[in-house]
Amino acid sequence: MSKTKKKKEPIPPINLWGHILAVAWLVPGGGHFLQRRHGRGAILLGCVAITFIIGLLMRGTMFQPQTGDLLTTIINVGGFIGNLASGVFYFFTVWLGYAQPDVAGHVHDYGTKFLVAAGLMNILAMVDAFEIAVGRKS
**What is 58-94 written as a DSSP string?**
TTPPPP----SSHHHHHHHHHHHHHHHTTTHHHHHHH
The single-letter code of the amino acid at 88 is V
Predicted confidence (pLDDT) per residue in 28-37, tens digit: 999 999 999 9
pLDDT of residue 122: 97
Domains of the chain, by residue range, sit at: 14-133
Query: How far, in Å, CA of 136 to CA of 6, rounded?
Result: 13
Note if the pTM is more than 0.95. no
pLDDT, tens digit (0-9, with 9 covering 90-100), for 32-85: 999 999 999 999 999 999 999 999 999 999 998 888 899 999 999 999 999 999
Longest dimension (CA), the chain: 61
**Angle of CA points 97, 101, 104, to nearest 5°:** 150
